[in-house]
Chains A and B, each alone.
Chain A
Amino acid sequence: MSLTPELILQLSLLLPVLASAAIVAAGGKPNLREAVTICACLIQLYCLIHLYLAFKAGYSVALVAWQLLPGLQFSFTVEPLGLIFALTSSFLWLITTLYAIGYMRSHKEENQTRFYACFAIAMSAVMFIAFADNLFTVFVFYEILTLSTYPLVSHAGTEQAKKAGRVYLGILLSTSIVFFLLAIVITWFVAGSLSFKVGGIFGSDVDSMLLSILLLLFVFGVAKAAIMPFHRWLPAAMVAPTPVSALLHAVAVVKAGVFIVLKICLFIFGPDLLASLPVTQFLLYLAAASVLLASLVAMQQDNLKVRLAYSTISQLGYITIGALLANSSALVGSTMHIVMHAFAKITLFFCAGAILVTAHKSKVSEMPGLGRQMPVTMAAFFIASLSIIGVPPTGGSWSKWFLLLGVLEAEQWWLMIVLMLSSLLNIVYLLPIPLAAFLPGLYSTKVATVTGLAVKEAPAWSLMAICITTLGCIVLFIYPQALYELSLAITGT
């Protein structure tokens, strides 16, 4: 075959953009439009698998696309972390599209073409971020990701959706402009380079105070990673249609955030420098607080999607902790958690959406007994909850395992207690939902339970998507080998 890896890389970067144009062109015909989207997803996935195989075979693929300003260029390279992120997101793009077909049609949403087109643009931004070789490229597409997901968040056009959109845009844009951009400019000025390099790009003579400020600016600037106190956008954005929540929480947005934090910690600062900075410890406290507080808040929420949103904030804290610890086990844990959490959280959101579409329920308190009506959905919810908590036989157990190893390696005992405590909290706010759904008498006898209804599941497309992601949670537990090797390779190169 004459396709070189470089060409494939270009193709996989540009494909979603082209798909978006084709979607707009096919706007009038829903079937054609959806067919275009699915085809694009499949080709994209094929390209990425090709890239993965090329990477395994030892090819190094790099691409300098365009010099924007002197010294600042769009350049791309294939490295394991980006590959993991890109593969996960584009696989989940495919699944989400399947789900969206069922969901959007049965929910009779308006402006579906805008939805699919913006989704494709967001995906292309994700691809650009995943393979970006320098901070500048990352920043540019980070902003595009924000802007392209804004119409999705306020998709409904109601007063509440608009307000959510404003919060979303307000927090993400202002942090990225004030903190992230400033940090990038300072980095450019201090280090003279923005390229990701193993071991970091700062020389040994740089003032550690300045670097501390920089790290703070970076971590807060990438508000997509939703570290408290810049997490408000995530719960606010839950008014969006469920496929959008899936995009935000699992496929693109928050994952892009933690991905960038990981990249910055690893390839801008480097593990050694990170360990020597006093501010790292402070950020660890903050991330730990984020983990615990978000879990506590999640327990209070009756709206299922808001509860899941706070759960996401908490889980992102795990990944940030791993990135800040930056030893090899913690990094493997963080990287794997990106994938594991993506699969589990997307399943949970799919289930929440399915419940909304089929049973028209959005509150946790209305759900006991629902297991009779929607057994498959609730079973999937149960398995995905296990994965979030980190219990075998689900993928989440691996990532939490490695994260704990990393914490032990770094001898941060208190963090271990935080992680254990958080797992307990996860159990408290997630498991009761499926348990009560199947065994309504377990928690309360008074609640008016849903009984006497025949089995009525979500639309077939959506149900299929739920099954695939649930299966993914389990498969990732049984075959974590490939993912593990890729994760190990991140620092190994």
Chain B
Amino acid sequence: MLSHLPVLQVIVPLMAAPLCLLIAKPKWVWLLAITASGLTFVLSCLLLQQVVAAGPLTYELGGWEAPWGIEYRIDYLNAFLLLIISAISTVVLFAAHTAIEKEIPSKRQTFFYVLYLLSLVGMLGIVSTGDAFNLFVFLEISSLSSYGLIALGKDRRALWAAYQYLIMGTIGATFILIGIGLMYQMTGTLNMEDLSMRLPEVAQTRSVFTAFAFIIVGVCLKLALFPLHLWLPNAYAYAPSIVTAYFSATATKVAIYVLIRFTFSVFGLSFSFTALPLQMIFLVLGLSGIFMASIAAIYQQNVKHIFAYSSIAHIGYMIIGYSISTVAGLTATLLHVFNHALMKSALFLALAAVIYRTGAVYLYQFQGLSQKMPLTMAAIVLAGLSLIGAPLTVGFVSKWYLLIALIERGWWPVAVLILLGNLLTVVYVWRVIEMAYFRPPLRQQPVDHSKQEAPYSLLLPVWILVAANIYFGIDTRLSIQVAELAAQSLFGVRQ
């Protein structure tokens, strides 16, 4: 049983999804989905434990030997990502039943859970597989289900956002497919481990350069790296709020994983960072992403838009850590992947609670909300502080590591710019907080000043995530240790 762990990750939700269709009763489907997602969480904990104890695990699918058959390979990086995805997915699912009550008609709720589980399958699959083509297939599974999930949004603009995302996402995925094809043509293998050994022989050919370019651009589309981010704000803003909470914490993180996996493991460090001016490109794109997206966030009226743009800015932070291309830089990126997943899921889930109670998505509707929903707003304040990077929250930990990495590398101006960009975060977070805490409630609403706190089924997951924001900001052992191990093994410092 234990030896099958790597594949069970993917199998469990994959089996649960059609079962959901058969059951077709939202309440039971919900319970089944939670069970499946919870199971993957337990499995990923076990995996992480095994990987830390005994090093990378491999699993041959169907018993076919590695370069021919599909291999699942779990090292520190995979295990870390698996843990993040399955944990966030489970916590978000806890809130799902209540949160979709008002946003998705009950006849479509079963489909919601099916799609949710399928996208979970896709993301877990991307992270656990060691085969380049398999990765593409899982990428499409997760993308297709995410288009469906976004289109479930109540607003008709959700359809339009889903369509735009579909076009962009498909182009991105096809680019990746072209890249994989070119690599296969040059090396005759699809196994990532095998690829990484054979690619150096043919590294200086135009085909490999082309493959690299296609894959990088394709991944960056999925990643919503500035300036390829156009699909993200609307997709996040108009999707059902529970879907936003889920995707903001997982989808872009998986894309970061793919980027790291291809550049570090498959193409190799020396090819990725010396043959091409990738470092400079990513640094510039990351910085401009931080500034442009943060400034855009400041001018948004829709609160979900504000935090969607903030996600793009935070992808900028991750990309900058990545572009430093040192162990410290990559550690910072991985830490921020973990930490950003925590803060954004907490924020969007709290927004889901607000939307559940009041339907408010625009900033002006947040006036005086602190009196109506004190606990929810307190959660938004804490998660917002984490987003800003206040000490004792996870945001501070990743900011600190990023700064150290930048200064170690000698990139002082970038460090200063990042801190300035950070100030913009303060501005847009504070707009929301000030609106909620220092304005009297809107008059046009019924004069009911009693508390209308969100139900516990929503509050509990929100506060679990907020508590995680603070806990992992104080007890950083787990996140830092695993992130460091992953970064070191990617640089070949440790096997």
Contact = CB atoms under 8 A, between A and B. Distances in A.
Direct contact of A and B (CB under 8 A): yes
A70 interface: yes
B14 interface: no
Contacts of A177: 389, 419, 422-423, 426
A182 B419 contact: yes
Contact of B423 (A151, A165, A178, A189): A178
B273 to A, nearest CB: 23
A162 interface: yes
Interface in A169-195: 169-170, 173-174, 177-178, 181-182, 185-186, 188-189
A124 interface: no
Interface residues of A, number: 29
A147 B397 CA distance: 18
A189 B480 contact: no
A279 interface: no
A66 interface: yes
Nearest to A180: B419
A68 interface: yes
A162 B438 contact: yes
Interface string B391-418: 1100001011101100110000001100
A185 B404 contact: yes
Contacts of A147: 385, 390
Interface stretch (A29-37, A136-144, A290-298, A337-345): A136-144
B398 to A, nearest CB: 11
Given A157-B438, A169-B430, A174 B390 contact: no
Nearest to B396: A140
Contact of A140 (B392, B399, B415, B480): B392
A186 B407 contact: yes
B472 to A, nearest CB: 11
Contacts of A68: 397, 474, 476
A88 interface: no
Contacts of B397: 68-69
Interface string A140-154: 110110010001001
B407 A189 contact: yes
A174 B437 CA distance: 21
Given A181-B419, A185-B404, A185-B407, A173 B426 contact: yes
A37 B480 CA distance: 39
Contacts of B101: none
A178 B391 contact: no
B392 A69 contact: no
Interface SS majority for chain B: helix
A147 B401 CA distance: 23
Contacts of A185: 400, 403-404, 407, 415
Interface string B365-388: 000000000000000000001000
B423 A174 contact: yes
A174 B426 contact: yes
Contacts of B480: 69-70
Contact of B408 (A173, A178, A189): A189
Contacts of B474: 66, 68
B405 to A, nearest CB: 10
Interface string B218-233: 0000000000000000
A177 B418 CA distance: 10
A162 B408 CA distance: 40
B281 to A, nearest CB: 25
A178 B413 CA distance: 12
Most interface-central of A68, A143, A186, A189 (chain B CB within 10 A): A68
Contacts of B389: 177
Most interface-central of B385, B419, B476 (chain A CB within 10 A): B419
Contacts of B15: none
A379 B115 CA distance: 76
A126 B132 CA distance: 55
Contacts of A72: 400
A147 B474 CA distance: 18
Interface string B415-452: 11001101100100010001001100000000000000
Interface in A37-96: 66, 68-70, 72
A177 B416 CA distance: 10
Contacts of A141: 391
A448 to B, nearest CB: 37
Contacts of B385: 147
Given A66-B474, A162-B434, A185-B407, A143 B415 contact: no
A143 B404 contact: no
Given A69-B480, A154-B438, A174-B426, A181 B392 contact: no
Contacts of B407: 185-186, 189
B400 A69 contact: yes
Nearest to B404: A185
Contact of A144 (B392, B400, B422): B392
A177 B426 CA distance: 10
Contacts of A66: 474
Most interface-central of A69, A70, A147 (chain B CB within 10 A): A69
Nearest to A69: B476
Given A68-B476, A174-B426, A143 B416 contact: no
Contacts of B476: 68-69
Interface string A421-465: 000000000000000000000000000000000000000000000
Contacts of A154: 438
Interface in A243-292: none
Contact of B416 (A157, A165, A170, A182): A182
Most interface-central of B415, B426, B430, B438 (chain A CB within 10 A): B438
Nearest to B420: A178
A60 B390 CA distance: 32
A139 B390 CA distance: 10
Interface in A92-117: none
4 closest cross-chain pairs (CB), A and B = A140-B391, A185-B403, A178-B419, A189-B407
Given A143-B391, A166-B430, A182-B416, 11 more contacts: A66-B474, A72-B400, A139-B391, A140-B392, A162-B434, A162-B438, A173-B426, A178-B416, A178-B422, A189-B404, A189-B408
17 contacts: A66-B474, A68-B397, A140-B392, A154-B438, A157-B438, A162-B438, A165-B434, A169-B426, A173-B423, A177-B389, A177-B423, A177-B426, A178-B423, A181-B419, A182-B415, A182-B416, A185-B400
